[in-house]
Structure formats: C-alpha cells, structure tokens
Amino acid sequence: MKKLLSLLVTIAMLASITTVSLAEDLPELTYLRWDSDPYTEEE
C-alpha cells in the first residue's frame, strides 16, 4: 500500500507533543487530516 505520509514526518509535525523514543518504536503509518478548522471558516 502506498504510504501517504511517513510517521517520521507526522512526528515532525507534532514535534512539540511527542518523544523521540516513540518515533523510533513505531512503523510507517498513513495519516490523513484536513488543513484548517472548518468552523472558523464558516463563522
């Protein structure tokens, strides 16, 4: 399966709330999210 995003990239995005040891332990995952808060836009 084609990977959308490596966990390392994900971890980099969430750098402030994760740990290095966790990044080393986890395999590659796919993770999809949207870019902004739709509620803020709607208001």
Partner 1 sequence: MVVPFDDYYSKLNTLIAAGETPDVFEISEYLAVEWGKKGVSMELSQPYEDRGVNLEDTYIAACLYGDEGNVYGITAGVTAILLFYNKDLFDAYDVPYPSSDPENPITWEEYVQTAQKLTRDSNGLCPLDEGFDTWDVTSYGTLTTTWTFSLTAFLYSANSGFFTSDGMGLDLGSDGAQKVLTEMSKLSTEYLCAPDSIISSSLPGNVQMFKDGMLAMAVEGSFMIGSYVTEGANFGIAPLPVFDTPATATWSAAYAISADTELADASLSLLEIIVGDTGSQYPSKIEDYEGENYDAWASALGLSESDQEWMKGYLNSSAAKVHEAVYVKNYSKILDEVISPEMSNLWAGDATPEQVASVTNEKSIGMFEGAYELLAN
Interface contacts to partner 1, rule CB under 8 A: 1-2, 4-5, 7, 10, 14, 16-18, 22, 25-27, 29-43
C-beta of 32: minimal distance to partner 1 in Å?
A: 4
Note whether 10 and 31 are within 8 A (CB): yes
DSSP designation for 4: S
C-beta of 11: minimal distance to partner 1 in Å?
A: 8
C-beta of 17: minimal distance to partner 1 in Å?
A: 5
